[in-house]
């Protein structure tokens, strides 16, 4: 379903004293951001809306390359944690993330028949020295709570509006998408010790840092780009296809 999204910023001027001269007026820091999402009007109160009619968090980008060829999830986590004021490297997180040690088994045609489960731990090699897949929201939230006790907020399964609301409140959000930032048709199925896994090798994870009426702004660990713009409609569809996975923190950076 396509997204109908519009953003309207309302700046309210207030007087700084008895003088009513226009020079004494200031723009209130807070602004209302009204979003039409799937024909539903949703209003966010944000201190981050600017005159470009966008919400944008200035979070430094980190590249997963060259050390972590398959490490988009822990690199996105490193950016999120750094925004809280704690500096933990991507390689430290790569070492500490829960692993699923189930070895890769291929059939005679080279197709995957058995491997790990990303819901339980990182599957395969995170460095790229051997085949690797990735990890999903639960192990990432667990590791976040290990580094910042009680701070992980797992938004998985929530509406996209709730994800945008977190960003509008000043909290970046780790979101699962695809390498194309659009739905993909190439899906695989394999067995794991915990059951059947449905996955795509196009799986990707980024840090959502902003939005306007047509685009999202992401820190992309694959390229190392900060505030890369991607179309909202296709990205949202890929996010839904990847299971509506999203993780953020309870308290924004102070």
| Confidence label for 36 from pLDDT (cuts 50, 70 and 90) | low
What's the confidence (pLDDT) of residue 26? 31
Distances (CA, A) of 231 to 92, 135, 186, 194, 249: 32, 25, 21, 35, 25
**Is residue 78 in a domain?**
yes
Query: d(Cα 93, Cα 174) in Å, to the nearest integer?
Result: 15
Least confident of 44-58, 88-102, 197-211, 215-229: 44-58
In a domain, 28, yes or no: no
Quick check: 23 pLDDT over 90?
A: no
- The domain that holds 159 is classified in CATH as 3.90.70.10
pLDDT of residue 251: 85
Predicted confidence at residue 120, as pLDDT, reads 98
What SS3 class is residue 241? helix
| pTM for this predicted structure | 0.84
Q: What pLDDT score does 54 carry?
A: 82
Least confident of 5-9, 82-86, 92-96, 181-185: 5-9
Per-residue confidence at 10, pLDDT binned at 50, 70, 90? very low
How many structural domains are present in the chain? 1
Contacts of 95 (CB under 8 A, 6+ apart): none
| pLDDT exceeds cutoff 80 at 5 | no
């Amino acid at each position: 379903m396509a997204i109908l999204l519009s953003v309207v910023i309302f700046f309210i001027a207030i007087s700084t004293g008895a003088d009513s001269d226009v020079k004494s007026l200031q723009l209130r820091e807070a602004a209302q951001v009204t979003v039409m999402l799937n024909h539903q009007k949703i209003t966010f109160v944000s201190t981050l809306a600017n005159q470009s009619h966008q919400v944008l968090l200035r979070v430094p980008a980190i590249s997963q390359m060259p050390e972590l060829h398959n490490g988009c999830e822990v690199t996105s986590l490193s950016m999120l944690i750094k925004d809280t004021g704690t500096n933990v490297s991507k390689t430290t997180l790569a070492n500490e993330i829960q692993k699923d040690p189930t070895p890769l088994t291929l059939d005679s045609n080279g197709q995957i028949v058995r491997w790990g489960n990303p819901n339980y731990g990182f599957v395969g090699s995170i460095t790229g020295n051997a085949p690797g897949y990735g990890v999903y929201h639960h192990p990432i939230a667990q590791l976040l709570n290990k580094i910042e006790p009680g701070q992980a907020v797992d938004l998985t399964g929530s509406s996209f509006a709730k994800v945008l609301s977190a960003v509008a409140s000043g909290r970046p959000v780790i979101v699962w998408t695809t390498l194309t930032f659009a739905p993909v048709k190439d899906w695989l199925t394999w067995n794991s010790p915990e059951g059947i896994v449905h996955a795509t090798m196009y799986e990707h994870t980024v840090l959502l840092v902003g939005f306007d009426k047509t685009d999202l702004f992401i820190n992309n660990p694959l390229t190392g780009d900060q505030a890369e713009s991607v179309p909202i409609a296709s990205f949202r569809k890929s996010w839904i296809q990847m299971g509506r996975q999203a993780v953020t923190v309870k308290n924004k950076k102070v």
